[in-house]
Chain A
Amino acid sequence: MARKSTLLPEVAVVESIRQETPNIKTFRVVSPGGGKPFEHIPGQCAMLSTPPVGEAIFSITSSPTEKEHLDFSIVQTGTVTNYLHEIEEGFEIGIRGPLGNGFPVEEVKGKDLLFIGGGIGLAPLRSFINYCFDNREDYGKIDILYGARTPDDMIQKKDLFELWPQQPNTDVYLTVDKECEGWDGKVALAPHYCEELAFTPENKVTVTCGPPIMIKFVLEALDRMGFTPDQVITTLELRMKCGVGKCGRCNIGEKYVCIDGPVFTYAQLLEMPPEY
């Protein structure tokens, strides 16, 4: 048999499915013989294939320190995601990865970390966050700020409410957009809350991911708070097909988000044409 094509997925099994919110489910994926389909670093992605309806790219939300599986939190939006939301545990799908550059987990060792996530944007951050907790001594203070429209729209509630707040030298701040019944926590948009919490930039790196509009205001807020562009890391989402820098649709200027990204520092983004 000839060498395997970069576009050819492997078969994998959806081991378990958890409903996170009305339109988000988390899928645990393993190889048919058990174990992880491949190793990855936080921030990397994979193409999930659901023949005959195609292929789409998703962030790996589990930490590389979880040895037995890969997890994906997926919003129902179109053909592939509809299919994924319909299947049951035990279904086989295709998987191709790891794709993308991933977070600079080595470079930020020794720093304090501020994670700011919105909605499904927690998915890539979670991989990094759990990686930090599993290598706790490598990183300084960890602050996690997460916002969702309503409490029902929050994903990974066990992490947010139970596991992460128990971690040493860690604070978790949760907020929702509007007042609602049963929520006695913070009500504010994530960027506002971030400014209110007055994080200081010294020895800190911020990692943010969420809807474009949130990222825009978070970047403005961080700027006012004195964070320099190279202290801010974010991930981009462009339409992708190949994931390996060939199909030509995910470029921003000369950079291809699928291989040069999806993780960029804000300093890098400022160098690129504003086409995302």
Chain B
Amino acid sequence: MKKVQKEKLEDLFERLAGDGVLYLPLEEDGVVNFAPWKKGARVNLEALNTVLPPKRAIFPQTETYMRFETDGKKLQIEQVEPVEGNYFLFGVRPCDMAGIKVLDKVFLDEPEDDIYSRRRQAGTILSLGCNDPHVSCFCSAFDLEPGFAPDADVALWDVGEVLLWKPLSEKGEKLTSSVEDLLEDASAEEERAAEEQRNSAAATVAAAAREHGWNVEGVEEALQDMFEAELWDKLYRRCLGCGICTYICPTCHCFDVEDFGKWQEGERFRCWDSCMFEEFTLHASGENPRPTQKERVRQRFMHKLCYYPSNFEGLYACVGCGRCVRQCPVSIDITQVIKEVGGVKSGS
């Protein structure tokens, strides 16, 4: 295992940024989000979850993919290349890495979405283990480990003065050798410290899961018979029908397609959309298969906890990052839904 001294991070960032776009959790007006690093930027590697998940780098909120020109009856269409080049996602939390895997299934499944796929391939992901999970973190419910993201290219652990560094993939190895001079070998002691942190973080989340009864076992099957359940009648009533819970979710992937431009020229882009909006499913006739917020709230939870796992071998489309739990203005809480549906208390 390698390590990088925290005082050398600035050098590392400069090196990476010279090699592509470096997305890092940056703080601006108190809000921490992944954004391209520039010299002097306020990096915050302490904040657990950025407000918006790092999916933004791979699946941007608004993304132009086509340009057109018209001239009388003539039309010209041209693809806009989706990738600006290499990029690095530095400091991705394990839940968010798992979120990217959830997106992969959708976009890389046939027919492959090449806009996504090319962005995905152009990136190298360095994930940072969590030492101190929040009360709203419940990644362990989905068999994820707060201290480690196996699907990242490089795993990082913060052990005080240094970040431990372990390449996990070919891309990770390549990156490691390209910044070799900034890395050192980690000591056995440091490795042990990282190990301990991993274990204690896992124990914290597991204990919370036990206390709150977050157990997703059987939730998919149970929901299959719960389309008409009373649960939805209660839950939706306070919902504001905003886009917060879906836009900040690392697994949500719905999008809309729109044109922007004048008659003679313009572009077509796709942008995030949300099943919580009325217009999402509104028909030309004015009819709507999901006419009230009840059907929309049901769709969101059903999709994450039932439809998605039915389509992708039992994988849930929630990674327990807790963003929606923290950010919903009226505390509509997916863990409460899991609890009510599952009813099975884990552990004890």
> What is the interface of chain A, defined by CB distance below 8 A to chain B?
1-11, 49, 51-55, 77-78, 87-88, 90-94, 212, 237-239, 241-242, 244-249, 251-254, 273, 275-276
Contact = CB atoms under 8 A, between A and B. Distances in A.
B60 interface: no
Contact of A2 (B75, B76, B112, B118): B118
Contacts, number: 136
A69 to B, nearest CB: 17
Nearest to B308: A254
B289 A275 contact: yes
Interface stretch (B162-170, B190-198, B276-284): B276-284
B5 interface: no
Contact of A254 (B115, B282, B306): B306
B70 A6 contact: no
Interface string B105-126: 0110101111100100000000
A52 B261 contact: yes
B256 A241 contact: yes
A246 B112 CA distance: 9
Contact of A8 (B66, B253, B306, B311): B66
B81 interface: yes
Contact of B254 (A7, A249, A275): A249
Given A7-B115, A91-B73, A249-B275, A275 B256 contact: no
Given A52-B266, A241-B256, 13 more contacts: A5-B65, A7-B115, A11-B77, A51-B261, A239-B282, A246-B255, A248-B253, A249-B254, A249-B256, A249-B273, A251-B303, A254-B306, A254-B310
Interface of B: 65-66, 68, 70, 73-77, 79, 81-82, 106-107, 109, 111-115, 118, 227, 253-263, 266, 268, 270, 273, 275, 280-285, 287, 289-290, 295, 299, 302-303, 306-308, 310-311
B313 to A, nearest CB: 12
Contacts of A52: 68, 70, 259-263, 266
Interface SS of chain B = mixed
A246 B114 contact: no
8 contacts: A6-B111, A51-B70, A51-B259, A51-B266, A52-B262, A88-B73, A241-B273, A248-B275
A254 B317 CA distance: 13
Contact of A94 (B77, B82, B306, B310): B77
**Lowest 8 CB-CB distances: which A-B pairs, in order?**
A248-B254, A92-B75, A51-B68, A254-B307, A77-B284, A254-B310, A52-B261, A52-B266
A79 to B, nearest CB: 9
Contacts of B81: 2
Contact of A11 (B75, B115, B227): B75
B66 A11 contact: no
B283 A237 contact: yes
B255 A90 contact: no
Contact of B114 (A3, A212, A251, A252): A3
B228 to A, nearest CB: 9
B309 to A, nearest CB: 9
